[in-house]
Chain A
Amino acid sequence: MSGRETGAPTDLTGGMPATDAAPGDTDAWAEVDPLTTVDADARRIFAAIAERLIPAAHGMPSAAEVVGEDRLRFVLRARHDLLEPFVAALRPDLGEDPEARLAILERDEPASLAALQLVLVGGYYTDKRVREGIGYPGQLAIEVRSWEVPSYLEEGLIDAVLARGQVWRDPNTGQRAIVEGRPQTYAERYWPAERRPEGGHDGRDGT
């Protein structure tokens, strides 16, 4: 089987590592700490909700443990539009019970709930330990080895498609098209008989 489909990825990220630099870092938002708007009560309520939605289980840490000030700051700097609905979702008048709060938000303020969930999940899944725990290395740069023969060709999967014939509908007849002399295999498609090297070599070794 070709390494093209299943081989170990080559990380080409090189000089472009995934970084914490948020898009707002080049503008005025870089100077503003979004957490100044999230008071102690709101953080306490957030921690309770985080514990409810993503608790420690199955070898993974809880979101309450992971999504501290650094992760919150990271998410809200990247998405400062979330700050207002996030704070709204944590306001004290919705009570202390996380379950009841989530139910109210789902019923009456779905946009605030969505912001709360996105901040929580965004903070949790951009944490290095969490990514390691779920086996996610980030979006890697993987070399495309276009000079290699794809495994589906070697397996004969394309030949099977070709052998079934044309799929398109001929607009002149309204019927499935018939093409005289159509290639039955991919080797035939690329190496018509008059050009095929002696011995039937199909030329797919990249030479």
Chain B
Amino acid sequence: MAAVEPADALIIGAGASGGVVARRLAEAGFRVVCLEQGDWHDKGEFRGIHLDWELTARKQWATSPNIRGLPEDYPIVEDSPVSPLMFSGVGGSMLIFAGAWPRMLPSDFRVRSLDGVADDWPLTYDELLPYFRQTDRDFGVSGLAGDPAYPPDAEDPPLPPLPIGSAGLKVARAHTRLGWHWWPEFNSILSAPYDGRRPCVQRSTCQSGCNEGAKASTDLTHWPKAIAKGARLVTGARVRQIETNDRGLATGATWVDREENEHFEPAKVVVLAANAIGTARLLLLSADGRHPDGLANSSGLVGRRLMMHPFANVAGLFEEPLMSWQGQFGDLIESLEFYETDERRGFVRGARWGLAPTGGPINTALPSRAGTQVWGPDHHLHVRSHLGHGANWGLFAEDLPDEANHVTLSGSVTDSSGIPAPEVHYAMGDNARKMLDFHIERATESLLEAGAHSIEVDRLMRYSGWHLLGTARMGDDPETSVLDRWNRTHDVPNLYVVDGSCFVTSSGVNPTSTIVALALRAAEHMVETRFEQQVPA
């Protein structure tokens, strides 16, 4: 039997960053292979157009793998008040993300210099700007140009903004009276037909899959183009270990298929794109005699500095109907009024606010995020006063890196292939708690100014670990970072990490826009340096 020709690039994970890198490398002529443990999902599978949408969103399409418990999921042992959320499949967690698409801000890259905490990034906002623009075009971003919370940009979003809804309009007027920043949200959700995809129809079921294909995910935006250029995507492929040779180079990956048959995929370059928990898990699983603490872990930081954006929800209730079960879930409007540091507040850094729809009747009738439940005759009054009458500010607090927050391997829990599950050890820091408390007070003021007659607060939502960041940070110093400024591991010159693991600090904004811009930047660098790249013989 002939030996398998090594791929030019073997990508682990077909989600946001994996799709971006696959498309760019395939377009540049690389022979790309991707191993994805999940499967393709046709938009006809999503339940948003069915009567059982709210029922299945709590199980089959839940955002937590521990709740879904699908064979392609791996369990996560949680020592954390926040549950990590993710999805295994082509498109990855984009299939179930909300679609909000803010960029990180210039100050986010200079946290140490500006605020004396955490670390600076080895790159700047301006360096990333061309990649933000390109990924906005590739994914199809809707938004209103000119947001003064960001530096002026010569290029506008490719599509006009999505509606802000009655709730968004009420709050926008309130912020105008208060003199506070607000802006229509940037979303990777189409407001008009684009690149062969249909526009959003405001059904608000974004987080259990978009039936229109209007919400961007790489199964729609990147993989068809990558495959057309020759990329090979293998689904149902669960990677067990990254292999290395005695020259310290990665040689490929060992993986198991759905029938538990073991395979080896050889490669010249290996690219990890498995999110900040999955990637850390794989690097730790790849420990061997040469790398006893895990691959690429001479700094000891693999799996450390996990950040998840502690999240609070502030709900305002209004007398008048707002039909707030409709609208893109990826936020109607945002506010960055209190995003930048003001030390008089008693903490550093800040939080982004996103105003979101409020869900359907089952969500309304069951005990709320804030613990409210009403049964008996008044149940009907409760549902009538809440359903479609709410506006929710979601508050994403910047999570400062802390080495005590980390991912390790479980000694007792495994996935369905017998591979050790990740354990997540996480506690919210004092700075983030003070930050959320401050922002909850301000968001309450915002909704009261908008006319809310009552406010309900969830001070730290458990199922909010959408943003998995920091477990293989970038940096110029190999002693204090896992990756260099181009997402390449310091220790293994042909091993890259392109997911949110690379984040140095978390910022306070939804990270996908920045993750994919960084991934594209890394892919461009791989293309530019292809002839200098060290590869196994």
Residues of A within 8 A of B (CB): 4-6, 9, 12-13, 16-23, 52-55, 57-60, 74-75, 78-79, 81, 117-118, 121-122, 124-126, 131, 134-136, 138-144, 146-147, 150-152, 155, 157-158, 160-162, 164-171, 174, 176-177, 179, 182-183, 186, 189-190
Contact = CB atoms under 8 A, between A and B. Distances in A.
A134 B383 contact: yes
A117 B163 CA distance: 35
Contacts of B362: 118, 121-122, 125-126
Nearest to A75: B55
A183 B164 contact: no
Contact of B376 (A53, A60, A183): A53
B442 to A, nearest CB: 14
Given A53-B375, A79-B59, A157-B173, A142 B326 contact: yes
B411 interface: no
Contacts of A144: 162-163, 191-192, 199-202
21 contacts: A5-B169, A21-B50, A22-B50, A23-B50, A54-B380, A57-B379, A58-B381, A59-B380, A79-B55, A117-B366, A125-B362, A139-B205, A144-B162, A150-B164, A157-B176, A162-B146, A167-B336, A168-B148, A168-B340, A169-B105, A176-B340
A134 B150 CA distance: 42
Contact of A57 (B106, B166, B200, B377): B377
Interface stretch (B180-188, B297-305, B429-437): B180-188
B54 A122 contact: yes
Contacts of A150: 161, 163-164, 184
Contacts of A124: 365
A158 B423 CA distance: 46
Contact of A171 (B125, B146, B376): B125
Given A19-B50, A157-B182, 14 more contacts: A18-B51, A53-B379, A78-B52, A121-B366, A126-B52, A136-B388, A146-B191, A146-B192, A167-B337, A168-B106, A168-B149, A168-B340, A171-B106, A171-B110
Nearest to B142: A146
A139 B152 contact: no
A161 B55 contact: no
Interface string B45-71: 001111111111011100000000000
* Residue of A18, A144, A155 with most chain B CB atoms under a 10 A cut-off: A144
Interface of B: 47-56, 58-60, 105-107, 109-110, 113-114, 124-125, 142, 144-146, 148-152, 159-166, 169, 172-173, 175-176, 179, 181-184, 191-192, 199-205, 211, 321, 323, 325-326, 336-337, 339-341, 360-362, 365-367, 375-381, 383-384, 387-388
A150 B380 CA distance: 35
A171 B107 contact: yes
* Residue of B53, B321, B361 with most chain A CB atoms under a 10 A cut-off: B361
A5 B164 contact: yes
A161 B164 contact: no
Contacts of A179: 151-152
Contact of A23 (B60, B152, B325): B60
Contacts of B159: 146
B361 A134 contact: yes
A118 B176 contact: no
Nearest to B149: A167
Contact of B183 (A55, A57, A131, A161): A161
A60 B377 CA distance: 9
Contact of A169 (B50, B107, B199, B387): B107
Given A54-B375, A146-B191, A9 B163 contact: no
B49 A16 contact: yes
B47 A23 contact: yes
B341 to A, nearest CB: 7
B361 A131 contact: yes
Contacts of A12: 201
Given A79-B56, A136-B387, A125 B376 contact: no
A80 to B, nearest CB: 9
A161 B182 contact: yes
A189 B59 contact: no
